[in-house]
Amino acid sequence: MRGTSWIRDPSLAEVGERRIEWTKNFTPVLMRILERFRREKPLNGVRIGACLHVTTETAILVEVLEEGGAEVSICASNPMSTQDDVAAALAARGTRVYAFRGQTTREYYECIGHVLADEPQITIDDGADLISTIHKLYYGIESEELKYVRPIIGDLDVRELLGRMIGGCEETTTGVLRLRALARDGKLLYPVIAVNDAESKKLFDNPIGTGQSALDGVIRATGMLLAGRDVVVVGYGNVGSGIAQRLRGMGARVTVVEANPIRALRALMEGFAVESMKKAAAHGELFITATGNISVIRREHFKLMRDGAILANAGHFDVEIDKRDLEAMSIKRERILPCIDMYVLEDGRRLYLLGEGRLVNLVCAEGHPSDVMDMSFSLQALSAEYLARNRGKLPIDVLNVPRELDELVAKLKLESMGAEVEELTPEQINYLRSWEPGSK
């Protein structure tokens, strides 16, 4: 049985609708896909359950999927990232929305329960919380989350749900890591496309999108000048490298902390100071984590930090900056501004945590610029279509986005920006494919 929406404030629908319309100016690829989906209806009758940050771009993705014939239910992929006006606009259009900003853990998982109760046949995740809930239910892995999900799904039979399941899509690095772990354990229950790993996603959304929006989050939260600041970026992967490069562009003095020697060397040769977390902890004025890993900044580092240091996270979960350690070491904690919590340590030093240590770009700003989400969500729409068209034919594994779809998104984006790619001549194609030609 399909539920009714659970949102903060329906009266925000008009503002949300206006912001969604504005965003469409920056999502030309999605709009082209929308036109085709409207004609072809590739998702006719397919129920899609999405667990995504509820932003204006997500609303456009939902519209594309619905124009393609799908019935969409959506919950948030982070308790703090929902834009309530967008949720209201979607609900007013008739989409099932279970999302509002500032959810408790219980409400967050109840909302996931509602999406499951709508019996999705395709899941679209950002961080794998929806799909991993399905797996925990199937394998009977008890957890706090399931205590909240169970009363909502009632007598939903997970086996039957899985029997009708077509496949899933995953948006982010952390989600893909979790899915690969499931597949490695031989426990993955249906095919999932690693949208994150497509080149037209991970080379653009992660460094360029997060690079800009994470700094937007820090600036909106603090109003600080970045030029001349001593900033430490933890993790020099796709996200961290984008953040470090943009910080440098704004005049910050950037130190990189990286666990992988090749990436650390790359950071060094790209002109950054490279240090251990312990060394960097002692001098940084602003710290931004982007590792997808747990407790990368913890007690031993907080002990060394200067008074007034600011801590922000751009990785998927709020585990990178160890909040339990920070709380245990503090004699006082106070929300001094909407996005800033002050922690006062025993010796009187103050550390400031932005956005509760959750994704700073989504909690303290509005997430990625739409132009970038245009690419990521075009891949999501095309991947959902691919799953539907290949229903029952795909292996149960973590699958790559087909190369032709990846390139199609890049080509459409280039076209929309008035650029074009060079066409290779038949001779050049042949040359690149042969081994015989050598030096002349």
Which residues contact ligand NAD (rule: CB under 6 A)? Answer: 172-174, 205-206, 210, 234-240, 257-260, 263, 290-293, 296, 314-316, 359, 361
Q: 161 Cβ partners below 8 Å, 6+ apart?
A: 116, 119, 120, 134
In the complex, minimum distance from the CB of residue 26 to ligand NAD, in angstroms, rounded to a whole number:
17
Query: Which of 290, 388 has the CB closer to ligand NAD?
Result: 290
C-alpha–C-alpha distance, residues 53 and 184, integer Å: 27
Looking at the Cβ atoms of 12 and 398, the one nearer to ligand NAD is 398
Check residue 357 and report its DSSP letter.
G
CB of 58 to ligand NAD, least distance (A): 12
Alpha helix (H) ranges present in 140-276? Answer: 144-153, 158-163, 173-184, 199-202, 210-222, 238-249, 261-269
Closest CA to 353 of 318, 390, 315: 318
Q: Tally DSSP H helices, then E strands, for the chain.
A: 20, 15
Please, what is the minimum distance in Å from the beta carbon of residue 204 to ligand NAD?
10
Other C-beta atoms lying within 10 Å of the C-beta of residue 276: 11
Question: Are 217 and 78 contacting, i.e. CB atoms less than 8 angstroms apart?
Answer: no
User: Under 8 Å CB-to-CB from 302, ≥6 apart: which residues?
Assistant: 281, 325, 326, 329, 345, 351
Strand partners, 75: 51, 98
> Please, what is the minimum distance in Å from the beta carbon of residue 180 to ligand NAD?
12
- Residues sharing a CB contact under 8 Å with residue 155, sequence separation 6 or more, in sequence order: none
Which CB atom, from 59 or from 296, has the smaller least distance to ligand NAD?
296
C-beta of 12 vs 288, nearer to ligand NAD: 288
Report, in Å, the least distance between residue 209 CB and ligand NAD.
6
How far is residue 55's CA from residue 46's CA, in Å, rounded to a whole number? 23
Nearer Cβ to ligand NAD (70/99)? 99
Q: How far is the CB of 205 from ligand NAD (least distance, A)?
A: 6
Of residues 47 and 201, the one with the C-beta less far from ligand NAD? 201
Q: How far is the CB of 242 from ligand NAD (least distance, A)?
A: 8
In angstroms, give the least distance from the CB of 360 to ligand NAD: 7
Q: Which residues, in sequence order, are bridge partners of residue 334?
A: 342
- Token pair listed for 83: 């834009």
The smaller minimum CB distance to ligand NAD, of residues 49 and 235, is found at: 235
* Phi, then psi, of 321 in degrees rounded to 5: -95, 115
- Closest distance to ligand NAD from the beta carbon of 229 (Å): 20
Distances 336 to 12, 297, 325, 348, 351 between C-alpha atoms, Å: 27, 22, 20, 16, 12
The three-class DSSP label of residue 18 is: helix
- Least distance (Å) from ligand NAD to the CB of residue 296? 4
From residue 431, give the alpha-carbon distance in Å to each of 403, 425, 436.
21, 10, 9
Of 55 and 121, the one with the shorter C-beta distance to ligand NAD is 55
Nearer to ligand NAD, 165 or 214 (CB): 214
**Residue 110 burial (CB < 10 Å; 0-12/13-18/19+)?**
buried
| Closer to ligand NAD by Cβ: residue 106 or 324 | 324
User: Of the two residues 68 and 211, which places its CB atom closer to ligand NAD in the complex?
Assistant: 211
Q: Can you tell me which residue has the tokens 């034919």? A: 393
Q: Angle CA(409)–CA(412)–CA(415) in degrees, nearest 5?
A: 150
CB of 352 to ligand NAD, least distance (A): 19
